[in-house]
Chain A
Amino acid sequence: AQTVTQSQPEMSVQEAETVTLSCTYDTSESDYYLFWYKQPPSRQMILVIRQEAYKQQNATENRFSVNFQKAAKSFSLKISDSQLGDAAMYFCAYRRGGAQKLVFGQGTRLTINP
């Protein structure tokens, strides 16, 4: 079975600095997708960024980018120029190609220090 591991239960960063959240996954599939979701105190799960496994180029969305290391099965999220509104739980998730089920990691709580 596929598993997703986030080894950092909590992280903190100074406002305007850069922070990297770690995620590793285990799969024997070659076709899959990886995601980062943000869950602010409002509880809503918001998609931050996604990466297709067949793409070598790392996905970016404004201040958010990923470092996708397929051989190492690593998928870290980098947040540049951190803002107070980035404070949230961040979840890494995996979906096998052709499937619809998302498997989530345990989450990392990110605190932004003003």
Chain B
Amino acid sequence: DAGVIQSPRHEVTEMGQEVTLRCKPISGHNSLFWYRQTMMRGLELLIYFNNNVPIDDSGMPEDRFSAKMPNASFSTLKIQPSEPRDSAVYFCASSLAGGTNEKLFFGSGTQLSVL
């Protein structure tokens, strides 16, 4: 398996523009997570899905952020409009929920820079 695939790897945009980050989880995994990493706040969970349904979005900073999972193999995180303080690395991760041996696998992240 190719692992969790995120695109783009880098994104540079101007303030006010819409940004869409994409994620393909590992085939067969039923849980998907979006994390954000910054120097100041470390790794924060933004939202996660089970079986394509959003379970906990309490980490989504504000209404400018939205996430969707239209099917088991694809998810998007959208920021509209983007602001400089959104600059961070955004990670997608997936797992097979249930059981005691559940492990979380991360993608390589998207480095977002909002100018």
> In the assembled complex, which residues on chain B have CB atoms less than 8 Å from the CB atom of A42?
108
> From B41, which residue of chain A is reached at the shortest CB distance?
A106
> In the assembled complex, which residues on chain B have CB atoms less than 8 Å from the CB atom of A43?
89, 108-109, 111
Is A91 among interface residues, defined by CB-CB distance under 8 A?
Answer: yes
Interface SS of A by simple majority: loop
Give the size category of B's interface with A: 20 to 34
Could you tell me if A47 and B103 are in contact, using CB atoms closer than 8 angstroms?
yes
Interface SS of B by simple majority: strand
Is A30 among interface residues, defined by CB-CB distance under 8 A?
Answer: no
> From B101, which residue of chain A is reached at the shortest CB distance?
A50
A57–B105 alpha-carbon span in the complex (Å) = 25
Could you tell me if A45 and B91 are in contact, using CB atoms closer than 8 angstroms?
yes
Nearest Cβ on chain B to A50's Cβ, whole angstroms: 7
A105–B103 alpha-carbon span in the complex (Å) = 18
Q: Which of B54-104 contact A (CB under 8 A)?
A: 55-56, 89, 91, 93, 95, 97, 100, 102-104
Give the size category of A's interface with B: 10 to 19
Residues 43-68 of A, flagged 1 when their CB comes within 8 A of B and 0 if not, give 11111001010000000000000000
> In the assembled complex, which residues on chain B have CB atoms less than 8 Å from the CB atom of A103?
45
Residues 11-29 of B, flagged 1 when their CB comes within 8 A of A and 0 if not, give 0000000000000000000
Q: In this complex, which of A42, A100, A107 has the most chain B Cβ atoms within 10 angstroms of its Cβ?
A: A100
> From B110, which residue of chain A is reached at the shortest CB distance?
A43
Which residues of A are at the interface with B, using a C-beta cutoff of 8 A? 42-47, 50, 52, 91, 100-107
Which residues of B are at the interface with A, using a C-beta cutoff of 8 A? 31, 33, 42-43, 45, 48, 50, 55-56, 89, 91, 93, 95, 97, 100, 102-109, 111
* A–B Cβ pairs within 8 angstroms, 13 of them: A43-B89, A43-B108, A44-B107, A44-B109, A45-B93, A45-B106, A47-B103, A100-B48, A100-B50, A101-B48, A102-B33, A102-B45, A102-B104
